[in-house]
Structure 1
């Protein structure tokens, strides 16, 4: 690297995760993703949304139109969900 050339910062991806899915949020953070609670102020900036998939979702978030992938966590492990996020968004840092 040349002297005086700023290092390129790897792109981080912001994922909104339903608050009941703490193990999923932790798995995403461990893989380098930034995670925010679904419904919070930063949700609009998220590149994907992870929901529980349960029918009794009181937030109604699953019926809201979105232009980002909405990933259901129902019946899936945190690792399966992380793989799904990676498949839909591509690798980090690209």
Structure 2
């Protein structure tokens, strides 16, 4: 089990559900939480490039583009990041 907190775009419900089952604390990445502040990683779909017109969002957390990835792939990538 992990206690890592990740921000996930709302349209990635399967990834959100899978990571929650893996023990991650999952929060929505939305207008109020655009930079995933306080999160260990941010998961984006990659499909909505700058839809909200926000191009200056900054974050210290690693960003994972989940486009073309399965929930299992995202989980593996998160574990790789944690080991670095």
TM score, norm. by length of structure 2: 0.80
Q: Give yes or no for the alignment of 1:78 onto 2:71.
A: yes
Displacement over 3 Å in runs of 4+: 59-63
5+ residue gaps, structure 2, are none
Q: Give yes or no for the alignment of 1:12 onto 2:19.
A: no
1:29 to 17, 20, 26: 20
User: Paired residues, what number?
Assistant: 80
5+ residue gaps, structure 1, are 1-9
Task: Judging by fraction of residues, say which structure has more strand.
Answer: 2
Larger radius of gyration: 1
> Aligned to 2:42, what secondary structure does the other structure show?
strand
